[in-house]
Structure 1
Amino acid sequence: MEPQWLTYGKRLQSIASTGLHFTRDRFDRERYEEIATIANEMLSALGDVPIERISDLIPDFARGYATPKVDVRGALVEENMILLVREECDGLWTLPGGFADVGLSPARNIEKEMREEAGLKVSARRLFGVRHKASSGYPADVRDFYKMFFLCDRTDNALPEPGLETIEARFFGIDDLPPLSRGRTIEADIHAAFAYATDTTKPAFFD
């Protein structure tokens, strides 16, 4: 496991990068550039290397080598029903999840998402699939994604409840699925979750 301060430094870099990419305000840009400088100084001190070497590794936060984003989705299957959440942004339903945060493993990310979107504490039991969004049956997206799917086990007895970005959270049967937010979850994802929850010997699928 990497040192906690290294995790902090990388997280600050991530915040600076995202902020610089999206901001249109010059004062916010100055603040994000300051965060980037602090992150570089932290990493320089941790690695005992000149600040120039750190800066050269990340010459421009707003641009860089483009890689696919990582989307994590969690499947909680209980009594032949699966947990779905209804997104506030479009009013449609999906497996809980979202973008993976820097500094957390894939498993910790989906446990965090399940807690934030459905109010449940879970443990990620197994990775059952990885899809390349552009290669599967999702609507077209200008961004490129790898979607990672985890079977989860509940670790508390709380009832599902919506979070900051969701307006409902409840269980559905395979033959009673609500309208899906298809940029996030398609029927094939839910059918796969039921199949892997039933057969624990199936090897994970991937594109």
Structure 2
Amino acid sequence: MTEAVSAIWLNHIKRLHAIAESGLAFSPEEFDRERFEEISHIAQQMMSDLASVPIEQISALVTPYHRRYVTPQIEVRGAVFKDNKILLVQEKSDHKWTLPGGYADVGLSAVQNLKKEIEEEANVLVSCARMVSLRHKASGDYDPDIREFYKLIFLCEAIEPIEQKPGMETCGAEFFALDQLPTLSTGRTIIRDIHDAFSFATDPEKLTIIE
């Protein structure tokens, strides 16, 4: 099975699972709930087979969606520049590099979340200037993910002094030139994100990219 076909099937399976979980959240009929439970389990098994991982791992990942109307999660990331170089952090989980950021926490705005993430991951204080892009993760060239995400990337301005260093979830924090980028953690950041950020940093009139 090609990567393109796998991505199409993964999208179908995620939608099937979302319908089942939403049905479990709202259906009052026991007969319907049994059917939705079975569909949810089948969808998780299909994800497990497609990804070649134990179904227990799949169930653990989809647990946050359980028994409610299923909607995409939000991921926020920031593009911070210094001397025409972009800030990247090295993830402890795969030792690859990404724009700083992560899941949006409840109770904070997107900008508040991003400021917190960049400070925690790179020890850099920022202000957010404007949004670079709003993308649907599954529609891009990111690594396949059984979860659904909208990715928000912001152009940020660092607050002096800039003394970047890694945090609890990162093992590196450095500024890189566009022609000297390290290996990217492509489940989080792809080369298109980096190019978009550089483009926005040099063009104050560029419009936000929306998918």
Q: TM-score scaled by structure 2?
A: 0.68
CA distances 1:27-76 after superposition (whole Å, capped 9, x unpaired): xxxxxxxxxxxxxxxxxxxxxxxxxxxxxxxxxx9410000010000000
Letter in 1 for 2:208: A
Q: Which residue does the alignment assign to 2:144?
A: 140
Q: C-alpha displacement at 1:158, in angstroms?
A: 3.4
Distance in structure 2 (CA, Å) of the matches to 1:180 and 1:174: 12
Letter in 2 for 1:183: G
> What percentage of aligned pairs have identical amino acids?
51
Matched, 1:163 2:179: no
Q: Which residue does the alignment assign to 1:154?
A: 158
Matched, 1:68 2:34: no
Q: Which residue does the alignment assign to 2:205?
A: 201
Mapping for residues 78-93 of structure 1, pairs under 5 Å = 78-93=82-97
Matched, 1:188 2:192: yes
User: Cα–Cα, structure 1 residues 80 and 158, in superposed 2: closer, same or farther, change >3 Å?
Assistant: closer
Aligned residues: 147
Q: TM-score scaled by structure 1?
A: 0.69
* Cα RMSD (Å): 1.0
Q: Which residue does the alignment assign to 1:40?
A: none
Mapping for residues 110-129 of structure 1, pairs under 5 Å = 110-129=114-133
Distance in structure 2 (CA, Å) of the matches to 1:62 and 1:177: 38
1:130 corresponds, among 120, 130, 134, to: 134
SS of equivalent residue, structure 2 residue 200: helix
Distance in structure 2 (CA, Å) of the matches to 1:96 and 1:143: 20
Q: C-alpha displacement at 1:79, in angstroms?
A: 1.5
Letter in 2 for 1:163: G
Contact 2:78 2:101 in 1 (8 A): yes
Distance in structure 1 (CA, Å) of the matches to 2:83 and 2:204: 16
SS of equivalent residue, structure 1 residue 125: strand
Q: C-alpha displacement at 1:160, in angstroms?
A: 0.5
Distance in structure 2 (CA, Å) of the matches to 1:133 and 1:105: 20
SS of equivalent residue, structure 1 residue 161: coil
SS of equivalent residue, structure 2 residue 157: strand
Q: C-alpha displacement at 1:133, in angstroms?
A: 0.3
Unaligned runs of 5+ in 2: 1-64
Distance in structure 2 (CA, Å) of the matches to 1:156 and 1:105: 23
Letter in 2 for 1:136: G
Q: Which residue does the alignment assign to 1:25?
A: none
CA distances 1:70-120 after superposition (whole Å, capped 9, x unpaired): 000000022210000000011000000000000111111111110000001
Unaligned runs of 5+ in 1: 1-60
